[in-house]
Amino acid sequence: DAASGWALALDFGLAYQPPSGRWQAGAALRGLGGALGQGLLPVGAPRPPAPWTLDLGASYRPPGAPLRLSLTTTWGPGAQSFLYDETPSQRLWRSFTLGLEVLPTRVLALRLGYSARRRAELAPGAEGLTLAGISAGFGLTAGRFAAHYAYVGYGAVGGASQVAVAARLGKAATR
């Protein structure tokens, strides 16, 4: 037997960067929506909502330093952990992702990130070196265009490469 259903989810986001350009902040509400129609649910049964998340982030570039520090957090039903024995303090710590971006030139950005949640979920009790929770990549910018590459480590199951190409519709980016 085949099963099917339809759902609709929307994402909304805001970003702010003051004229100084030293810091940036953003928020995204992702996955708002839910199932369309009954699908496989019994007639009259309530439709479950989509597992939305609220992402909040900020970054700071110290004066005179060729680097940017970032901190992001994710909350909501879509951010549920597979670690059911977490304490509240572990849940709080693991909701954050730390990032470092080194900017050696106006064209090149080198990036490194750490996700405590990904590390805890994919390499529980791991001793020694594992790439779970670690990400690294780089970006190249030329005027209004940019290309980015990132490797995200998933521990024993391997990792994922991510590639993005972007075009800025407003003014060309400045660093």
pLDDT in tens, 19-69: 988 999 999 998 888 777 666 666 777 766 678 889 999 999 999 999 999
Mean pLDDT for 60-85 is 83
- Phi/psi at 156 (5° precision): -60, -25
Q: How confident is the model at residue 40, as a pLDDT?
A: 65
Best CA proximity match to 156, nearest among 112, 115, 126: 126
Q: What is the pLDDT of residues 83-131, one digit of tens each?
A: 666 777 777 777 889 999 999 999 999 999 998 877 777 766 666 666 7
Tokens matching residue 87: 């304490």
Q: How confident is the model at residue 39, as a pLDDT?
A: 65
Could you tell me which residue, 55 or 156, shows the higher pLDDT? 55
Q: What residues contact residue 144 under an 8 Å CB cut-off, 6+ apart?
A: 167, 168, 169, 172, 173
Q: How confident is the model at residue 3, as a pLDDT?
A: 59
- Phi/psi at 45 (5° precision): -70, 145
Do 103 and 66 contact (CB within 8 A), yes or no?
yes
Task: Please state, in angstroms and rounded to a whole number, the distance separating the CA atoms of residues 17 and 61.
Answer: 12
Task: Please state, in angstroms and rounded to a whole number, the distance separating the CA atoms of residues 112 and 46.
Answer: 43
- On whether the pTM is more than 0.75, the answer is no
Task: Please state, in angstroms and rounded to a whole number, the distance separating the CA atoms of residues 106 and 79.
Answer: 35
Task: Please state, in angstroms and rounded to a whole number, the distance separating the CA atoms of residues 98 and 72.
Answer: 7
Mean pLDDT for 171-175 is 55
Q: How confident is the model at residue 124, as a pLDDT?
A: 64
Q: What is the pLDDT of residues 1-25, one digit of tens each?
A: 565 667 788 899 999 999 988 999 9
Residue positions counted in the chain: 175
Task: Please state, in angstroms and rounded to a whole number, the distance separating the CA atoms of residues 122 and 63.
Answer: 37
Q: What is the DSSP letter of 157?
A: G
